[in-house]
Amino acid sequence: MRVVFMGTPDFAVPLLEKIVADGHEVAAVYTRAPSPAGRGMELRLSPVHRLAEKLSIPVFTPKSLKSAEEIAAFAAHRADVGVVVAYGLILPQAVLDAPRFGCLNLHGSLLPRWRGAAPIQRAILAGDAETGVSIMQMEAGLDTGPVLLAEAVAIATADTAGSLHDKLATVGGRLIVVALDKLAKGPLAATPQLEAGVTYAAKIDKAEATIDWARPAAEIDRQIRAFNPFPGAATRLGGAAVKLWRAIPDTGSGAPGTVLAVGRDGIVVACGVGVLRLVEVQKAGGKRLGIEQFLAGNRVAVGDRLGGEA
């Protein structure tokens, strides 16, 4: 199959790797334009851009695909199919229709649940037992196209957004080559999405990362895991901003936000229901530390309070 690949972040990288390894011809890669980053504000290529250059695949970084010139340039690739994975730009209908088999999108959820920008984080926040990947035929709506293939992935109690991201990317890489191999032999069966199961995964706002200790320990644990590695669940301890990277829910009670115990196995903090044992934390400007290392350089005592804007 002659493929145009469209993607930007780390999540899309394993899929491009698998498509190339499976012997498909990638005629072009479309990705977001380099953006300034770091202290020097140097232009940084996207993960997909870096891989495409390594593989000697032509890279295109238009700011929009709506102009007649960009649409014509896209059509000139004469692709059998477009594969879109977290690209970041809206595709006009003329682009969706240009490849012989249209454009396929791989999405990190079991559609129609968690359409939108942050399906991995939202699934963890909601306490879902499973999520998955879906390959759909793209149409003009947001993640509304019929589903061609899907595979469920269990969400473990210790999964973070980072670990679940990696699981889904691995499954997605395998599933997309199955879809392309089947498509080469004929059209795939398409299952329309049911409106009854639609939920939306809104983009993550950093304000959501601030912990409200009046909430149950189980909910705060999901918040910590959903925002690991970005943006990090945040609170204040002793007047200093800290981020919480790993915690263990447990039974117990006390005034929400109060430190109930301090030891080598964790800092126990009361929540609205239950307690959390903090085992990996990070002070503003510092490194992520296990609790023993953190306590070696930071005084925390029973009765201290956590909370407030971080």
Regarding whether 7 and 54 lie in a shared domain, the answer is yes
Regarding whether 220 and 188 lie in a shared domain, the answer is no
Regarding whether 26 and 154 lie in a shared domain, the answer is yes
Judge if the upstream peptide bond of residue 14 is cis by omega within 30 degrees of 0: no
Domain CATH for 279: 3.10.25.10
Domain CATH for 189: 3.40.50.170
User: How far is 155 from 134, CA to CA, in rounded Å?
Assistant: 16
Regarding whether 37 and 137 lie in a shared domain, the answer is yes
Regarding whether 260 and 192 lie in a shared domain, the answer is no
Strands 59-60 and 25-30: parallel
Q: Judge whether 237 lies within some domain.
A: yes
Q: Judge whether 305 lies within some domain.
A: no
- The pLDDT score that the predictor gives to residue 286 is 94
pLDDT by position in tens, the chain (length 310) = 999 999 999 999 999 999 999 999 999 999 999 987 766 678 899 999 999 999 999 999 999 999 999 999 999 999 999 999 999 999 999 999 999 999 999 999 999 999 999 999 999 999 999 999 999 999 988 899 999 999 999 999 999 999 999 999 999 999 999 999 999 999 899 999 999 999 999 999 999 999 999 999 999 999 999 999 999 999 999 889 999 999 999 999 999 999 999 999 999 999 999 999 999 999 999 999 999 999 999 999 999 999 976 5
- The pLDDT score that the predictor gives to residue 185 is 94
Regarding whether 218 and 92 lie in a shared domain, the answer is no
Q: Judge whether 307 lies within some domain.
A: no
Q: Judge whether 273 lies within some domain.
A: yes
- DSSP secondary-structure letter at 57? -
- The pLDDT score that the predictor gives to residue 238 is 84
**Structural element, H or E, at residue 29:** strand 25-30
- Looking at 168, 201, 234, the residue that finishes a domain is 201
169: tokens are 């990317």
- The pLDDT score that the predictor gives to residue 309 is 64
Other beta carbons less than 10 A from residue 287's beta carbon: 8
- Whole-prediction pTM: 0.94
Q: Judge whether 303 lies within some domain.
A: no
177: tokens are 């080559």
Give the range of the structural domain holding residue 246, as residue numbers without chain letter: 207-297
Regarding whether 176 and 219 lie in a shared domain, the answer is no
Q: Is 135 exposed, middle or buried (0-12, 13-18, 19+ CB in 10 A)?
A: buried
Q: Judge whether 139 lies within some domain.
A: yes
Q: Judge whether 194 lies within some domain.
A: yes
Q: Judge whether 309 lies within some domain.
A: no
- Looking at 177, 201, 225, the residue that finishes a domain is 201
Strands 266-270 and 275-283: antiparallel
Regarding whether 58 and 131 lie in a shared domain, the answer is yes
User: From the DSSP assignment, how many helices (H) and strands (E) are in the chain?
Assistant: 8, 17
Regarding whether 275 and 141 lie in a shared domain, the answer is no
Coil, strand or helix: which one is 268?
strand
- Looking at 201, 227, 244, the residue that finishes a domain is 201
224: tokens are 């910590």
Regarding whether 169 and 55 lie in a shared domain, the answer is yes
Regarding whether 134 and 82 lie in a shared domain, the answer is yes
Regarding whether 259 and 138 lie in a shared domain, the answer is no
Domain count, the chain: 2
